[in-house]
């Protein structure tokens, strides 16, 4: 599929959409497909400090748990309340379901992330295995 170009991607299948000094984070379509039906998302509290590359929560399906890795460092400003009541929304529309919003400590960190095209290539390789 074509991945939206208005955001950047991690190798751990998170996306981040940047708006000035704040970022919105979610997981990719590929991630939700691999996980299967999502039953629970564990998110940090507002005010929590995130470090790029470190885990900040988990996504659970019936048979598996995956860590969520922060695409960038910063502070959590908002958590999507939908996640607690309707985690299935992530399955329906992964790119439209955000998980956390955060302030960015160092926007330059985003340079290390993948573009939509690079992520698409990366996913094709992964799936090929």
Partner 1 sequence: MKHMTRKATCHVNQNEGLIFEKSSAGKAAWKLPPLDVPEVDTNKLLGASERKDLGNMPEVSEIEIIRHFTRLSTWNYAIDFGMYPLGSCTMKYNPRVNEAVARVEGIANGHPYQPEKISQGALRIMKSLSECLIEITGMDAITLQPAAGAHGEMTGLLMVRAYHQAQGNARKKILIPDSAHGTNPATAAMVSYAVENLKSDSRGMVDIASLEAQMNEDVAALMLTNPNTLGVFEQQIHKIADILHAKGGLLYMDGANMNALVGKVRPGDFGVDVMHLNLHKTFSTPHGGGGPGSGPVAIKKALEPFLPTPVLLTKADGTLGFDYNRPQSVGRVRAFYGNFGMFVRALAYIQANGPDGLRQTTEDAVLNANYIRKGLEGTYDLPYSTPTMHEVVFSDRLQAKKGVRTMDIAKRLIDYGFHPYTTAFPLIVPGALMIEPTESESKEEMDLFVEAMKSIADEVEEDPQTVLDAPHSTRVSRLDETAAARKPVLRWKPGN
Partner 2 sequence: MRYLPKSPADREAMLKAIGLRSIDDLFAPIPTEYRLSRDLNIPRQMAESEIVDFFRQRSRENADGYASFLGAGAYFHYRPVIIDSLISRGEFLTAYTPYQAEISQGTLQSIFEFQTMICELTGMEVANASMYDGSTAAAEGVMMAVRLTGRRSVVVARSLHPEYREVLATYATHQGMPLTVAGFGGDGRLDLKELEKLITQETACVLVQSPNFFGTIEDVDAIAEIAHKHGAMLVVSIAEAVSLGIVEPPRQADVIAMEAQSFGVPLGFGGPYCGVIATREKYVRQMPGRLVGQTLDKQGKRGFVLTLATREQHIRREKATSNICTNQALVALMVNIFMAVYGKVGLKELAKQNLAKTAYAAGQFAKHGTVLFANSPRFNEFVVQTSEDPYAINSRLLGHKMIGGLPLKKFYPELGNAALWCCTELTPRSAIDTAVGLVAESERSVRSAKEEVEEVAR
Binding site for partner 1 (CB under 8 A): 37, 39-40, 60-63, 87-88
Q: Which is nearer to partner 1, 16 or 41 (CB)?
A: 41
Q: Which long-range contacts (CB under 8 A, 24 or more apart) does 106-110 make?
A: 106/72, 106/73, 107/18, 107/21, 107/72, 109/52, 109/71, 109/72, 109/73, 110/8, 110/16, 110/18, 110/71, 110/72
> What is the nearest approach in angstroms of partner 1 to the Cβ of residue 88?
7
Query: Choosing among partner 1, partner 2, none, which partner's interface includes residue 64 (Cβ < 5 to 8 Å by kind)?
Result: partner 2
Q: Which is nearer to partner 2, 24 or 32 (CB)?
A: 32
């Amino acid at each position: 599929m074509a991945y939206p170009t208005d955001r950047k991607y991690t190798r751990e299948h998170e996306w981040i959409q940047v708006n000035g000094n704040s970022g919105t984070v979610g997981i990719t379509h590929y991630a939700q497909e691999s996980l299967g039906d999502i039953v629970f998302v564990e998110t940090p509290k507002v005010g929590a400090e995130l470090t790029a590359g470190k885990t900040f929560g988990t996504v659970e399906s019936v048979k598996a748990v995956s860590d969520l890795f922060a695409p960038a460092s910063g502070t959590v400003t908002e958590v999507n309340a939908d996640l607690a009541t309707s985690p299935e929304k992530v399955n329906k529309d992964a790119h439209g379901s955000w998980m956390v919003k955060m302030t960015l400590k160092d926007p330059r960190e985003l340079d290390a992330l993948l573009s939509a095209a690079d992520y698409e290539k990366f996913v094709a390789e992964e799936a090929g295995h």
